[in-house]
Structures are given as C-alpha cells and as structure tokens.
Amino acid sequence: MSTDPRFDGPGPDEVWRTALAEGRLLLQHCRDCEATRFPPAMVCGACGSPDLEWREASGRGVVHASTTVREREGGYNVSLIDLAEGARMMSRVENVDSGAVRIGMEVVARIVPEPEPFVVFDPAEGGAA
Amino acid sequence: MSHPLRGRAAIAGIGNTKRWNAPGRLPFDQLQEAAILALEDCGLALKDVDGLFCAISSSGLPVLNAAERLGINVRHADGTMVGGASFLFHLQNAVSALETGLCEVALICYGSNQLSAGGRLASMPDPQHYETPYKPRYPISSYALAAARHMHEYGTTRENLADVALAARAWANLNPDAFARGPLTRDEILSSRMVSDPIARADCCLVTDGGAALVLTRADRARDLAKPPVHVLGTGVAIGHRQISAMPDLTTTAAVESSRHAYEMAGVGPSDIDHVMVYDAFTITTLLFLEDLGFCPKGEGGAFVSSGAIAPGGTLPVNTNGGGLSCNHPGMYGLFTIIEAVEQLRGTCGERQVGGAEIALAHANGGVLSSQATAILGTAATI
Ligand SMILES: [Zn+2]
C-alpha cells in the first residue's frame, strides 16, 4: 500500500460526528489561510489547501437568517448561524418563540445527544436580542 | 473581435407538450412527445439526432432511458444534473459540441409527471446530513432564508414579493396555454397560507406536469430548416454551493458570474436585452436575478418590480409566459425559459408578444440558488 499519509485517519464527517457524540463541538481551520470550513471537507474552501486542523469551537454565534417552518401542528425554527470562528451552519434556535428569533441575535450552541447528536442554539445570557 | 462561439449555433426547433396535468403519462412519455414536436417543428427526424442532452428528476440515468425510448444512436451525450438549470448547462455544451463537430443535430429534452403523480416536488435523492436534523422544508426554507436576509439588508417587503406574483399572473392572463389564469389580487397573495416565513403559498411556483425539447444545429444548417433560426449569442454557467448554509452571500447569487460570461460571449449588456426570462421558483428568485443579471442595482429589485416595470406595459418584459408562478412548473422548469424566449424572437406569442424583440435573455436556477445558467438568444438580424 502506498497511500498518502496526509489523508490518513478518519474522514472529516466521522471526526465531526465522533466529537459531537463526546459532547465536543469541533471546527476545521486551514493551516495555510486560517479560514474555517463547515460542513467538514478534505480541502479548504477559501484557498484549496488540504492542510486542515480541528480546533474546539467557542459555541458562540449570531443569527444570520431565520425562518419559521409552518406545519399543521405548529411552527418550528430553522436558522443560519454565523459561528464566532467564521463558519456558517444551519440549525435552530430553541427556548424562544420562533417568530422572536431575529437576525443579529446572539446565541450559544448546545449539543442534543439523541437520536444522532446534533447542534442547536439558545439565546445567549444577556446577549443582544 | 467577437467571441468564436457567438451565434455559431442556433435553436432550429422547439417542442412543448403543454400537458400540465396529464394523468397516465410517465415523465419519459412527456419527454418523447416534446422531442417529436421539436423535430417536426424544424423538419428534422429522430434519425438525424446524434447528440442527446437530458435531465429528469426521477431518473439517475436519463440519457440511457431517453436514447432507448427514442430509438436513437448518439455519438455525443450529456446528462449533467444540476437541478432546474441543467438544460442551460446542456445548451452550452451543445453549442460547443456542434461547433467542434462532435455532433450535427443536438436534442435537449425533458419530461415530468410531478402533478399527476401526486403533486409533490420530486427531487433527486440527495440527502444533506448537516441540514436534515433541522427539517427545513426542501427547497422552500432555503429560499425563505435568502428572502429574510434580503428583507433585512435592503428593506424588501412581502408586498414587493407579491408584486412579482401579480406580474406573472398578468402575463399568464395573456397566454392561453398558461395553467393558472384568472384574477389575482395583492391581498389574496399576502393572505395565502404561510409555508416558511416570509414565503407564503402564493410566493411559490406551480406544481404541474410537462415536457419540453429543443433541437439545435450549426447556424448555417439552421438557416435551411423550416423555422427562422434563433441564434445562441452567448451562454454562461456558474455553481455557487449545494446547501444554503454554504452560500457565501444569501442576497447575491452566482448568476452574477453566469451572466457575465454570457454577456461577454454575446457582446451585449443588460440595456440591449428586449425580453427576459428568469426562473421564478419563488417570488424572491425573480428579485435576486433581476439584480444579479444587471437589470437593476443590488437591493433595488423590490422597488423595481413594484414600479410595474416587469408587468405587461412595463419597461422590461419579464416571464411573459406567466413563469413558473403562473404558466407551468414541472419541477425542473429551466428549459421553458428558452422555449418562451424562442417564441418571442420568432414573433409567435400573440397577445403577449413583445414588439420588435431581437435579443432575449433566459436565465435558469437549480438546487437552492446553487447552479446558475444564462443564455442570450438573438434573431438573424443580430448576427
Ligand atoms: Zn485555506
């Protein structure tokens, strides 16, 4: 076997999911240009470098855009969150009425363990609403 | 010096089944009918086709299925699947394949039974694991997020969006082949059921069946065929992202790039365009594309539309068939933007005819504002 050692180890989706299952929120950063990468990938979207490393994310973010999906049983929130580290992810804001979620609202990540671990956000304590 | 591909290929024939609700027909039935209509339109036959281009929501191997059903032997083919813009990607490939001699007669075709098969948008299975847990309604919620952001940044209102749907209906009322005709008011649009804020039912395109096809040849050959050729003056494609979270700027699409390529190839600019077709999957997409294609400045799409500019009698005729909002929307509507542009340039549009139309622009979108493709078409006088 002569595989390229730069790409050894678990793939980026596996790393992301394994970390979430351990209660950790990780983000990829480019060692060449410092850009963040989300969703996880093998190369930097900003400069094309394959030299990415995982770092612990702060979990702090700001609502970039928000919608309420209307169902017969009621509505629920879907938002795009800009993380403090620069990545943008789809998620939802909980513990506040979906209609009250505003662009620019400060939020904090929380990992929901079941059924598959995933990330939601709560309004930040004392944050600008 | 003009671009080497400018005007070299021409759309010789068009086929449109206009069967918007046709139970008992498969997507490939609609596709085959459209292909036959397009070939008859220009006086060619299936045996003449040696280049096949198609995409279909319900098939992962559309070229194989279409070639078998049509009984054609091809030496060039393209089944690029980038959602509703696929057919304009095919168009760019067809133009280049015709010029380089890879094929002589190119057939681009599509069919769908999405209304009669159950009325749900049939998308290619392509799960997005980083979105699934949040249950966005696909694709509406992604467009809703872009609309929310446009409202936040530029003060765009739901009334502005409603005026897009009103203009589309006004054009549809001049088109006897449109699926949704009849009176429609701003209040009816604003009070329609909210689906994913700020997008309500009346901001969404129709769900219909349908089939469409184009036949292209090199321009010199098209001049000897049955209908006046409509020349492909310029094409451009661009891909921005797959998931809405990866869209760099929710209020600016890759249509900026696709149209820049098309304008450069055609040697024209927005002020030279007589007739415009943009893929209106949702009312917000018309606003975004009017801005990104250069018909009004970024952020001013709402005011531009609400001034009456794109409605019948306005300064810029847009989506004159009634669009995806009021004419038809079989799931991947892109090919129909070309069909209407060709009809306008041929001057066969009856009550909705744009007087003296010489240059038309057709723009298509795929995914969630993901793939963008622009085509600029012209009459023989533009060559
Ligand atoms: Zn980088």
Predicted confidence (pLDDT) per residue in B21-62, tens digit: 999 999 999 999 999 999 999 999 999 999 999 999 989 999
| Closest CB from A39, A65, A89 relative to B145 | A65
Instruction: Answer yes or no: is B154 within a domain.
Output: no
Q: How far is the CA of B73 from the centre of ligand 1 (A)?
A: 46
Instruction: Answer yes or no: is B220 within a domain.
Output: yes
Q: What distance in Å separates residue A45's CA from the closest CA in chain B?
A: 10
Confidence of residue B164 (pLDDT cuts 50, 70, 90): very high
Residues of chain B in contact with residue A64, where contact means CB-CB under 8 angstroms, are 149, 250
CA-CA-CA-CA torsion for A12, A18, A20, A21, nearest 10 degrees?
A: 160
Q: What is the pLDDT of residue B24?
A: 95
Beta strand B106-112 with B51-54 is parallel
For tokens 């892109």, the residue is B334
Is A90–B129 a contact, with Cβ atoms under 8 angstroms apart? no
Confidence of residue B119 (pLDDT cuts 50, 70, 90): low
In chain B, which residue's Cα lies nearest the Cα of A117? B133
Find the angle CA(B81)-CA(B85)-CA(B86) to the nearest 5 degrees: 30
Q: What distance in Å separates residue B239's CA from the closest CA in chain A?
A: 14
* Distance in angstroms (rounded) separating the CA atoms of residues A19 and B111: 45
* Distance in angstroms (rounded) separating the CA atoms of residues B152 and B216: 44
Residue B1 has pLDDT above 80, yes or no: no
Q: How far is the CA of B156 from the centre of ligand 1 (A)?
A: 35
| Closest CB from A76, A103, A116 relative to B152 | A103
Instruction: Answer yes or no: is B273 within a domain.
Output: yes
Query: What domain count does chain B have?
Result: 1
Instruction: Answer yes or no: is B185 within a domain.
Output: no
Q: In what order do the strands lie in the sheet with A52-56?
A: A36-37, A26-30, A52-56
Q: Domain residues for B216?
A: 9-120+206-382
In chain B, which residue's Cα lies nearest the Cα of A99? B197
Task: Outline which parts of chain A fall under CATH 2.40.50.
Answer: 60-123
Q: What distance in Å separates residue B30's CA from the closest CA in chain A?
A: 33
Give the DSSP H/E element, type plus range, for residue A76: strand A74-83
Task: Give residue A26's identity as a one-letter amino acid code.
Answer: L
Residue B307 has pLDDT above 60, yes or no: yes
Confidence of residue B124 (pLDDT cuts 50, 70, 90): low
In chain A, which residue's Cα lies nearest the Cα of B131? A90
Residue numbers of A between 48 and 107 with CB closer than 8 Å to B? 64-70, 76, 78-80, 88-92, 99, 103
Instruction: Answer yes or no: is B148 within a domain.
Output: no
CATH number for A60-123: choose from 2.30.30, 1.10.620, 2.40.50, 2.40.160.
2.40.50
Instruction: Answer yes or no: is B35 within a domain.
Output: yes
Instruction: Answer yes or no: is B157 within a domain.
Output: no
pLDDT average, residue stretch B155-163: 98
Q: What distance in Å separates residue A82's CA from the closest CA in chain B?
A: 9
Q: What distance in Å separates residue B153's CA from the closest CA in chain A?
A: 10
Q: What is the pLDDT of residue B126?
A: 87
Is B134–A38 a contact, with Cβ atoms under 8 angstroms apart? no
In chain B, which residue's Cα lies nearest the Cα of A77? B134
Residues of chain A in contact with residue B250, where contact means CB-CB under 8 angstroms, are 64-65, 80
In chain B, which residue's Cα lies nearest the Cα of A37? B246
Q: What is the pTM of this model?
A: 0.97
Q: How far is the CA of A33 from the centre of ligand 1 (A)?
A: 4
Task: Give residue B203's identity as a one-letter amino acid code.
Answer: D
Average pLDDT by stretches of 10, chain A with 129 residues: 91 96 97 96 96 97 98 95 97 97 98 93 78
Residue B310 has pLDDT above 80, yes or no: yes
Find the angle CA(B328)-CA(B375)-CA(B368) to the nearest 5 degrees: 55
